[in-house]
Structure 1
Amino acid sequence: MNESKDTPALVIGTGPVGLTAALALHAQGVPVRIIGNATGCSTKSKALVIWSRTLEDLAGLIDLQSFSEAGTQLRGMRIHSGSHELVSLQYKDMPALSRFPPGILIPQYETERLLVQRLEACEITVEWETELVSFSQNDHEVEVRLRGPGGVESVCKTPWLIAADGAHSTVRHQLEVEFTGDTLPTTFYIADVHLGADFPEGEGVTYLDRHGVCMLLPIGGTQHTRVIATAPNSDEASVDPTLPQIQEVLDRALPMDVTASDPMWLASFRIRERVLEEFRHGRVFLAGDAAHTHSPAGGHGMNTGMQDAFNLAWKIGLHHRGIGGDDLLDSYSDERKHVARKVVTDSNRLTKVMAIDSPVLSLVRSSGLKLAGSFDRFRNQVSRNLQMMDLDYQDTGLPRVSSISRNHDALSPGMRLPLLEVSAAEQRATTLDAEHDPSKFSLFVIENDRTPSFDKALRSAQATIEGLAPEFREVVNLIAVRVAGTEPIAGVTLLHDVDGQVQQATGFRGHGAMLVRPDRIVSVFCGALDGRELDRWFQGL
């Protein structure tokens, strides 16, 4: 490769996806430059929720306490039909899925501000009022023409161009790739207003009636509420609503009197569902709305784009270290396209159910939700979907290996590493994912208390890592997970599986090894003595 180690990757776009991509690349040791044609951070609230799946990724990049202070922890979600409650998700009464809150309600302008502050702390300057004019690429680099403040043009060369420049992406248009899909016929209103009524702090409420849906979501860190509602005459073209029109919708949908005032944002929209066929084009990668758009139902748009950025960054990071080839980089497109299509499908179904405007079907909908909402299994599954915990790569992307007999209901390769409680030195309570370094792979060697000679298994795993090529050896951490009460092992990070959660989740019937990718996706299950599978997996990158 004729790629300079000092030439920065270039990120186009200064929204949450572009800012996250720049931070994630920096964390992987990749020099990065970020530009955007905006004059500064957004002044609108736009995307409001950062779900726990995204918080898990952000935790490796930024202090999440700043997000908690600027926003509000999501405590629950409720669905009503008039004054009748159909479904209630109260997260304090539900199984925890992550070491982080289910979600943080925070306006997008705060999310962007905090990400920019973190970039500045990393000595990365966001280049505002700078736009991409054109680009060309060859096998070694991308040549980009830029126009900065005052119309001054310049040319730069970069090994990687990451387009996070939104639904109207200049990069995507210049690539001349199709971005086709469906536009749903229903028009929705969106309003950020103050409501003269008290709602439970940190809870979202959805009201359903025969006219469609009206959703209320508190805007974290403010006294305002996001209203998303089916517009009257919603088959007509989108026209931004007035405050009286928002009041009319609230009067129609809510069982109590509320008064909307002090609007910060009034808009209307139709849902456009699009997913690119490929997210990679040579040395150009597309992420976020530049690659996929879908319904805001579920609040997954910004989160999906930020997760695109994490997936891409660690792969470019490995390539920057001289590890992996086209298959590694192509897996970004394969994996994230799979996720984007699932998000589009799920949000489409949710939107159509919520927007039903037939009196008969709305009655059926309410009856069905009331029945389903009485079951823990339904509420838990809805919670998993909202927090994006079911998105995985079991059927796509990088190789997935399970070469050892395990219990049938155990974790599968391609799945996210779940919340598993362990203890570390001095009985410090922690979780398996908290001990994982997101800039490297983790090889967890897991003891089975019914099998002898764990020291032998651990030495074998050490020898496997030492036998890898030097570039691989540097990006793998070895972590021993032992049953409670066993002695420390010199030179090896030691965790204790106090409650047997790790053994149960992995399903090993003897000592086993589990390889976890930087993005906390499990890739390999094998015997602790079987280093060949690990060596083959790394050689296949």
Structure 2
Amino acid sequence: METQVLIVGAGPTGLMAANQLQRFGIDFILIDYKSGPTKESRAIAVTARSLEIYQQMGLSDTVVADGIMMNSFNLFSDGKAKAEVKIGEIGKGMTDFPYLLAYEQSQNEMLLYRNLKEKGAEVHWETTLVTLKEYQKSIVATVEKNNETFEIKAEYLIGCDGAKSPIRHQLGFNFHGGTYENRFFVADVIMDWQLPHNNLIIAPSNTNFVGFFPLKGERYFRVLGSLPRAYFHKEDIRFEDIEKEVIQTAGIPIVFEKTNWFSVYNLHHRCVDNFNKGRVFLAGDSAHIHSPAGGQGMNTGLQDAYNIAWKLAFVLKKTAKPDLLATYNEERLPFAKWLMTFTDRMFKLMTSDNWLVAWFRKHIALNLIAKIFTFGKIRPVIFRRVSQIWYSYNGKSLSYSNSRQELLFKAGDRLPYITDSHQEIPFYELFKEPVFHLLYLSNEALEEGIHLAAEETFPFPVKILRYPITPAWIGLGVEKPLFVLVRPDNYIAFLSDSFSVTEMENYLAPFFISLKSKK
């Protein structure tokens, strides 16, 4: 079998990579050792940035309709509410998805899998990677299915094969980090209590920690927490064995009626020091694993796939040089490292059974968190972080600005979110096509010569959009015409007050194949 891209692992990251490659018309083969999509809920939260990807794919309405918007984030101690943080539309004015949405991993996988199938693609289930060899212009994978082995030849490979990643092991990627001392449990349960269903509850005690996250369905919750130490070395633990400790930790009367899934695990925090070797690229858990604090894991994997897919597509279509692929590691590795630090600090604060940390958490941290969330200026900052809309590729190789205006956005930033009363459709829906967009901000029509210059400059299709300089743009510092080149993943590539062919060619030269060289 031959293909352009082999994707190993059909979890959310691998399925997203396949969907993105499909949007760009790239041939791929997607394999997974499982028999089908994950049935357990596993990861829960979908961030605004991930929803914006789904919006670009035409799938966001389904996600929102089938998800659960969380009304509030509640901190409990000794059975008493120490803090209630109203979530609601905390990110209003920053995105079309200004809330916290629960849409579990199994739903994400089924949605992405269904979308692939509707467009004519399939996943090779029950297919296991055995060995991998890389050559100058290809990789060859030996895989096994139904006790038979065969080879798949591809130009590139995306490894989305999870935390234990055989690809990462075979190729000798470094995977720095460690393992948390405590053990943890996770359960999907139907339960009865007096608290609202669509609230997120976190309840740390002096020795343990437990959290409750609403799932789709009446009285259906994800329960996760630190395993009581008495059970650390026991095998075949059932959720029923620790129910009393869970209720005691929460301090809230609870009746657990049914357990649909239960698992005990060790939690790691590790990251590779490079996302690729040769023609192989890692994404998602195969490249970085961390605590579930903040609901960032699955979403980060989706962003990884979103980033590498368009770059592979442009290289495979011969409009970009292979050098473009180096920007994947340049852009995604810093975020993975930041995320490890961010989640590690949050998780240790909430789960540590060290007496000093437990005392600080109970008497200071919980009250401090509640106080912080009352400040109007802090809430948007927190939303931007948790939703991942804050992250920027500013200062990276693909980000360039030559504007003299005092803009409140930079090259490398996510495209600013604009709400104008005259808009008939959401602003981001103008950028749904899998191409670069040249956004011309001006109250005057674009000169005809610019269209011709663009055709003679860009080695790939570019959709040109004119948008007036409305009060929303003025508030962001746009006072006169501005050209904004927007990448296929809706990050800003280039900013300039005028369109100069020479300037644009100089920007494109390091990573893209010029039209002149093709003639």
Q: 2:379 aligned with 1:390, yes or no?
A: no
From 188, 191, 196, the equivalent of 2:187 is: 191
Aligned to 1:27: 23
Q: 2:244 aligned with 1:258, yes or no?
A: no
Query: Hey, what's the Cα distance between the residues in 2 that align with 1:290 and 1:524?
Result: 31
* Superposed counterparts of 1:336-485, under 5 Å: 336-357=332-353, 358=355, 359-362=358-361, 363-396=363-396, 398-407=397-406, 410-422=408-420, 427-447=422-442, 454-455=444-445, 458-459=447-448, 461-469=450-458, 471-472=459-460, 474=461, 476-483=462-469
SS at match of 1:100: coil
Rate the CA distance shift 1:467–1:86 in 2: closer, same or farther, 3 A. Answer: same
> Number of matched residues?
506
1:270: how far off?
A: 2.7
SS at match of 2:281: strand
Equivalent residues of 1:445, 1:458 under 8 A apart: no
1:255: how far off?
A: 4.1
**Aligned residues: CA RMSD:** 2.4
Query: Hey, what's the Cα distance between the residues in 1 that align with 2:90 and 2:284?
Result: 33
Query: Hey, what's the Cα distance between the residues in 2 that align with 1:514 and 1:234?
Result: 59
Equivalent residues of 2:290, 2:343 under 8 A apart: yes
1:276: how far off?
A: 0.9
Matched letter for residue 49 of structure 2? R
Query: Hey, what's the Cα distance between the residues in 2 that align with 1:7 and 1:509?
Result: 49
Gaps of 5+ in 1: 484-496
1:23: how far off?
A: 0.8
Query: Hey, what's the Cα distance between the residues in 2 that align with 1:234 and 1:17?
Result: 36
Matched letter for residue 432 of structure 2? D
Higher deviation after alignment, 356-365 or 288-297? 356-365
Query: Hey, what's the Cα distance between the residues in 1 that align with 2:328 and 2:253?
Result: 49
Equivalent residues of 1:405, 1:508 under 8 A apart: no
From 94, 99, 102, the equivalent of 2:99 is: 102
From 121, 125, 129, the equivalent of 2:126 is: 129
Query: Hey, what's the Cα distance between the residues in 1 that align with 2:414 and 2:60?
Result: 20
Q: Deviations over 1:505-535 (max 9, x none)?
A: 2x23321111111111112111124443322
Query: Hey, what's the Cα distance between the residues in 1 that align with 2:498 and 2:74?
Result: 46
Equivalent residues of 2:159, 2:281 under 8 A apart: yes
From 466, 471, 474, the equivalent of 1:503 is: 474
Query: Hey, what's the Cα distance between the residues in 1 that align with 2:251 and 2:7?
Result: 47
From 160, 175, 180, the equivalent of 1:179 is: 175
Query: Hey, what's the Cα distance between the residues in 1 that align with 2:204 and 2:377?
Result: 22
From 116, 120, 129, the equivalent of 1:119 is: 116
Equivalent residues of 2:130, 2:143 under 8 A apart: yes
Rate the CA distance shift 1:403–1:177 in 2: closer, same or farther, 3 A. Answer: same
Gaps of 5+ in 2: 512-519
From 129, 132, 142, the equivalent of 2:139 is: 142
Aligned to 1:494: none
Q: Deviations over 1:380-409 (max 9, x none)?
A: 22222221122221243x33222121225x
Q: 2:4 aligned with 1:15, yes or no?
A: no
1:379: how far off?
A: 2.4
Equivalent residues of 1:238, 1:268 under 8 A apart: no
Rate the CA distance shift 1:229–1:524 in 2: closer, same or farther, 3 A. Answer: same
1:128: how far off?
A: 0.8
Equivalent residues of 1:17, 1:164 under 8 A apart: yes
Aligned to 2:515: none
Equivalent residues of 2:437, 2:465 under 8 A apart: yes
Matched letter for residue 431 of structure 2? H
1:163: how far off?
A: 0.9
Query: Hey, what's the Cα distance between the residues in 1 that align with 2:441 and 2:485?
Result: 11
From 196, 203, 207, the equivalent of 1:207 is: 203
Aligned to 2:50: 54
Equivalent residues of 1:205, 1:215 under 8 A apart: yes
Query: Hey, what's the Cα distance between the residues in 2 that align with 1:343 and 1:195?
Result: 32
Query: Hey, what's the Cα distance between the residues in 2 that align with 1:103 and 1:152?
Result: 45
Query: Hey, what's the Cα distance between the residues in 2 that align with 1:234 and 1:285?
Result: 41
Rate the CA distance shift 1:412–1:389 in 2: closer, same or farther, 3 A. Answer: same
Higher deviation after alignment, 365-374 or 91-100? 91-100
Q: Deviations over 1:46-86 (max 9, x none)?
A: 11122111111122335233333433233332333342332
Higher deviation after alignment, 529-538 or 268-277? 529-538
Q: Percent identity?
A: 25
SS at match of 2:75: strand
1:429: how far off?
A: 2.6
Equivalent residues of 1:464, 1:531 under 8 A apart: yes
Equivalent residues of 2:176, 2:273 under 8 A apart: no
Query: Hey, what's the Cα distance between the residues in 2 that align with 1:438 and 1:181?
Result: 39
Equivalent residues of 1:62, 1:118 under 8 A apart: no
Matched letter for residue 131 of structure 2? S
SS at match of 1:364: helix
Rate the CA distance shift 1:532–1:89 in 2: closer, same or farther, 3 A. Answer: farther
1:438: how far off?
A: 4.5
Query: Hey, what's the Cα distance between the residues in 2 that align with 1:531 and 1:459?
Result: 14
Aligned to 2:517: none
Aligned to 1:532: 502
Matched letter for residue 360 of structure 1? W
Matched letter for residue 195 of structure 1? M
Aligned to 2:220: 224
Query: Hey, what's the Cα distance between the residues in 2 that align with 1:94 and 1:402?
Result: 28
Rate the CA distance shift 1:370–1:203 in 2: closer, same or farther, 3 A. Answer: closer
Q: 2:319 aligned with 1:320, yes or no?
A: no
